[in-house]
Amino acid sequence: MAEVSLRPVARLRTPFAEKFGVPRQSGLVPAAEGWVEFLPEFSAPEFVRGLEAFSHVWLITGFHLNPPWSGSAVVRPPRLGGNERVGVFASRAPNRPNGLGLSLVRLLAVQPGRLHVGGVDAVDGTPVYDVKPYLPWCEAPEQASADWAQAAPPVRPEESVEIPPDCARLLGTDVSRLVRELLRLELQPAYQETGDRTYGLTVAGWNVRWRTRPEGGVAVCEVARAALPPAAGSP
């Protein structure tokens, strides 16, 4: 069969500056909002005429920061503890032959040349190859089953995430809510045991460090403004 060459129609702008800390599926963190910014040749309003009638859209994206596919036919999903192996086509693992991702996001607004979306699960700058409206009558069948991935992953209780008042003041209300929703998830690698460990991520322009506690839950221990990336063409 002939190979197909894909080109992006848009770039996804998100709060996530790096892969660590990105939710493992779309919709898990409603406060993670972003923008689908269409490239000039696809930014005419005719391309999205009528899209405002839909509540959600599918984004077909590319894992542009991943290394090339390793060639392995099996992966180790975090939902199975990071030890059990399943076939790459039986998973949502990002390391796959064509490096394509699929995200179902909430459509918050349609604006000239861009879409405001919620529940994103991608790094800032992710290429978007297509946008399609979500059709609940055919894409959420009642009889569907997913065995070990049937239900959403567990989240910590909201009160188990501690953000000290001084950190919350620096972050502001919106970023604090985003950080809290993220830290309710199990962001650390599945193979690492829980305990008193410290992690960090860069999100929404902030470096956030937190620690897990042996008694359960997590606590933010430091926040600082993230360094801005160098301007294009700068040394």
Better-scored residue on pLDDT, 148 or 165: 165
pLDDT (tens digit per residue) in 116-155: 999 999 999 999 999 999 999 999 888 888 887 778 888 8
**What integer best gives the mean pLDDT of the chain?**
90
Q: What is the mean pLDDT of residues 158-184?
A: 95
SS3 110: strand
- At 190 the pLDDT is 56
- Integer-rounded Cα radius of gyration of the chain: 19
Percent of the residues in the chain that have a pLDDT greater than 70, as a whole number: 94
What is the edge-to-edge ordering of all strands in the sheet holding 218-225?
A: 161-162, 218-225, 206-212, 198-203
Contact 22, 202 (CB under 8 A): no
pLDDT in tens, 52-109: 999 999 999 999 998 899 899 998 887 777 778 999 999 888 889 999 999 999 999 9
pLDDT value, residue 195: 60
For the four alpha carbons of 63, 66, 68 and 69, in that order, the dihedral sign comes to negative
In the chain the domains, ranked by start, together with CATH numbers, are: 10-148 (2.40.30.70), 158-225 (3.30.2310.20)
What's the mean pLDDT in 150-172?
91
Report pTM: 0.88
180/183 Cα distance (integer angstroms)? 5
CA atoms within 13 A on the CB side of 122: 30
The pLDDT value given to residue 233: 41
